[in-house]
Structure 1
Amino acid sequence: MTGEDDQNAALARFVLAGPPPMRDTLQGWDEWRANRDSFTPAPQLDLAAWRALGPRGRMLHDLHRAATHANLPMLETPMTRKVARRLTARLTTNRLKQKPTTRAGVMVTGGGAQGKTETVCAIAADSQEKWERLGKLLAPHGLPGTRDLPAPVAYVQTPVTAKPKSTCKAILNFYGAPITSRMDLPDLVRQVATSLHDHGTRALVLDDITRLRMHRADDQDTLDLIRAFMSMHVTLVLIGVNIPKSGLLREGRFDTRSGQVVFPPPKRTEVLGLEATQTERRFDLVELDRFHYDTPAQISAWVEHLAGVEECLRLLKAPAGMLTDGTMPEYLYKRTNGVAGLLERLVEDGCEEAIGSGEECLTESLLEGIEIDAEDGPGRDREAGEVPHVPEHKPTGQRKRVRNSSFDDHGPAAADTGS
């Protein structure tokens, strides 16, 4: 197989494939986990090498470049390293516990579009794979009593209008467990407990937890139910926007010695059908913050991140230091307020404009015509803060965006011309 054939095969897997897997199902989680690092970016070419490809090669390479910019990798930052240290330590410690005690959980907070979900999912997937490798090393033939369909990690999105029943159903949907209309809340809770146990789940990740509104009785009951899950020998990982101001912590106190939020034992002997243990519920609270631009160390971290992003781009006329030299770092920070997700959106749209216009380079003047679109995506709850605030932008000069022409047939007359 030639290099061009390899590139075509890599493109076909992503351009012609179906929709990405849904991580909130067991099958989708395993599929995402197995393929999350399999994207092959386009080769880095300069303008002369691109022109030498021929018409068909140029069209396919432009398509591959567009796919590369649409699938920029999640880069490690000082903030994600902080979350990784705390969450990995908690998952490891709880995994090794044999005592029938309540496992401490983790709350990951931060603003919208700061990569909380992707960071937590990547950490949880890495942890799962580490234990699977260890299991094969220590017990290559398996152990008696192990599950045929293990699910060490369960990822669930909190329903937009969360109630105890809908939350239980969302968890059961992850496993594909049977749900009937005759099941009342205690039945659903027992089914959740059974699924967690039967699939050997060690970490239950509940995303968008700040959709709970603590002024609603149903939401208070849902939070009580979620805390009760901590007695099922799972590590509860809650992800939400600005958790400290959401009301979720109003019953808790911050323990300065341990750095944990401590919730008192339930007052009721049963919580929605689950026997309530008289132990405190503890959560590590860790923030995935945005970049800041005040101190030399913070500026250096931002510039280093921009350098990492620049290495991932495939523009034909991009000079070294395209995103890091001159006033570009300050300009990009002003446009995005240091939010990684907004930077990715601006760069992705900017690359589309640069390719379509033939400029093949990101400049401040080109980015001036790009408006960052952070409108509500599917399943996003604006009231819960899941749609990020975009800094106000007043373009200094209006320029018309050029339509991407990667799929256009320019005809025989243009077959041997370059940009």
Structure 2
Amino acid sequence: MTSTTARSKTRKPGASKRTRSLANISLTRKEDWNRFVLAPSRTRPDPVTRTELAGLSDTARTQYDRLRRDWHANLGPFITPQFKSVTEQLWNITESNLHDGDRVKGAIALDSEPGVGKTTVAQHFGKQFHLDQLKQEGPRTDGGHERWPVCWVSLTGNTTLRDLNRAMLSFYAHPGADRGTANQYLQRALDCVLNCETRLLVIDDLHFLKWPTAHSIQVSNHFKFIANTFPVTLLFIGVELKNSGLLADRNHSNVVAQTARRTTVIGMDSFPVADDHQRATWRNLLKTIEDRVILAAAGPGMLAEVLPDYLWARTNGHIGSLMTLINRGCSLAIRSGEEVLTEELFDRIGLDAAAEETRAGNFAAIRTGDLKARMN
């Protein structure tokens, strides 16, 4: 392959533009959320052989490797059974929440341990919901305002209720987001929700909200006010929300119980491998991933047939850890020139602390036969 041919082959229309447009965004701002929702599909780099790769000029090789790193860093989402189940429930609840403004809509709490893909599922659902609303209602409201079907808020450590209200207001780029009381922020946010006809309010990392046990009723009342006043479906995302001040209270307060009665808790799981059905699901995920990997020496079965036990032991079945390992592995394979994912290559890559903590025990269980992720 000549350098000219390589350049024309790897420079897909819009690929670099899309990379630039999504590399520096925050979904907590409406303009960036809009870019995320409306961005074209990422262009898959064409696979090449080792010989073709060696024939690229330095410039073409640098560009091709950059496109591959971008591709591997953004693989997915993968439509796993967990993904399909959660998405179906999210659609069912939001589509049935057609209550008039004077009626309270049911809320959703997407609650599970870290690293199983909660936020990824919610982002994908929010994107589809946003597009669906624009298709049905148009980009402008009857009052002439921009329509923003989704408001996405991500909390930080020790967030107060005032910070939460301000974060909602900041999403809409309201000029009053830099000054005011908690109630003033909340009322301004309500004006934005009504004017922009927002129908889904997503609050990510809700477990960061600062609520000592003594204040759980205050927190519950705050969200009760939002549910009663904002014509939106509330989607909470977090860890151990069922045990938080939102849905549980040691004093068994009826106020907190009311919020719990209005909130449907949806869980997500990692990938267990206790039986052949579960192992088949794990294999299918690995097969889907390897089909999307663009490495010159990659081949069928590279992950699904050769490394199912190894990858499960390294990640404990958590898709977040798995995708980090795959992404870093692809980057190392490109940089080192190995161009294939192997156990030896993965052994040179560190993972998150939680995955590393279970690594030794998982490998010991595989050696003794107490655990296996490989199909029979």
**Band the TM-score falls in, shorter-chain normalisation:** 0.7 to 0.9
Deviations 1:317-338 (A, max 9, x none): 1121000114x10110010011
Aligned to 1:235: 233
130, 133, 136: which one aligns with 1:134: 136
Q: 1:162 aligns with which of 147, 159, 164?
A: 159
Instruction: Classify the secondary structure of the residue corresponding to 1:179.
Output: helix
Q: Is 1:186 matched with 2:166?
A: no
Cα distance in 1 for residues equivalent to 2:144 and 2:216: 33
| Counterpart position of 2:290 | 310
Aligned-residue offset at 1:181: 7.0
Please give the residue correspondences for 1:295-334 in structure 2 after superposition, counting only pairs within 5 Å: 295-326=275-306, 328-334=307-313
Report deviation, 1:146. 4.0
Q: Structure 1: where are the runs of 5+ without partners?
A: 253-261, 268-277, 375-387, 397-419
Change (3 A) 1:16 1:206: closer
Query: How far apart in 2 are the matches of 1:165 and 1:265?
Result: 21
Q: 1:29 aligns with which of 5, 16, 33?
A: 33
Q: 1:2 to 1:135 in 2, by over 3 A?
A: farther
Deviations 1:270-290 (A, max 9, x none): xxxxxxxx9985111111211
> How far off its partner does 1:294 sit?
0.6
Q: Give 1:365 deviation, angstroms.
A: 1.8
Tell me the CA shift for residue 67 of structure 1: 2.0
Q: Give the distance between the partners of 1:173 and 1:46, measured in 2 at CA.
A: 48
C-alpha distance in structure 1 between counterparts of 2:253 and 2:54, whole Å: 64
SS at match of 1:237: strand
Q: Decide which structure has the larger Cα Rg and report it.
A: 1
**Between 43-52 and 205-214, the greater mean CA deviation after superposition:** 43-52
Query: Aligned match of 2:42 in 35, 39, 42?
Result: 39
Inter-partner Cα distance in structure 1 for 2:33 and 2:178 = 26
Matches within 5 A, 1:188-337: 188-215=185-212, 217=214, 220-231=217-228, 232-251=230-249, 264-265=254-255, 281-326=261-306, 328-337=307-316
* Unmatched tracts of structure 2, length 5 or more: 364-376
In structure 1, C-alpha distance between the alignment counterparts of 2:159 and 2:215, rounded to whole Å: 7
Residue pair 2:316, 2:355 contacting (<8 A) in 1 also: no
Distance apart, 1:20 and its partner CA: 2.4
Root mean square deviation, CA, Å: 3.1
Structure 1, 240-249 or 108-117: larger mean CA deviation: 240-249
Output the CA distance in 1 between the equivalents of 2:149 and 2:337.
48
Q: Which has the higher helix share?
A: 2
Q: Which amino acid aligns with 1:114?
A: V
Find the aligned partners of 2:279 and 2:51 in 1 and give their Cα distance: 35
- The residue type equivalent to 2:343 in the other structure is E
Shift of the 290–104 alpha-carbon distance from structure 1 to 2, 3 Å rule, reads same
Are 1:4 and 2:24 an aligned pair?
no
Separation in 2, partners of 1:222, 1:370: 42
Q: Offset of 1:251 from its aligned partner?
A: 4.2
Is 1:357 the counterpart of 2:336? The answer is yes
2:202 and 2:272 map into 1 onto residues whose CA distance is 28
Looking at structure 1, the residues matched to 259 and 58 of structure 2 have their Cα atoms a distance apart, in angstroms, of: 69
The answer to whether the Cα contact below 8 Å between 2:107 and 2:263 also exists between their aligned partners in 1 is: yes
The answer for the alignment partner of 2:323 in structure 1 is 344
Task: Give the ranges of 4+ consecutive aligned residues of structure 1 lying more than 6 Å apart after TM superposition.
Answer: none
Counterpart residue identity of residue 288, structure 1 = M
**Matches of 2:156 and 2:214 in 1, distance apart?**
16
What one-letter code is carried by the residue in structure 2 that aligns with 1:28? D
CA gap of 1:3–1:197, structure 2 versus 1, over 3 A, is farther
What is the deviation of 1:44? 1.4
Pairing 1:109–2:96 present: no
Q: Secondary structure at the match of 1:361?
A: coil
Within the alignment, does 1:60 sit opposite 2:63 as a pair?
yes
Distance 1:263 1:333, change over 3 A: farther
Residue 25 of structure 1 and its aligned partner are, at CA, apart by: 1.1
Give the aligned residue type for 2:151: A
In the alignment, does 2:25 pair up with 1:13?
Answer: no
Identity within the alignment, %: 25
Instruction: Please give the TM-score of this superposition, normalised by the length of structure 2.
Output: 0.84
Name the aligned partner's letter for residue 347 of structure 2: E
Distance 1:333 1:214 in 2: 36
CA contact (8 A) 2:248 2:260 kept: no
Q: Equivalents in 1 of 2:332, 2:9: separation in Å?
A: 27
Distance 1:180 1:74 in 2: 33
Q: Distance in 2 between matches of 1:280 and 1:346?
A: 37
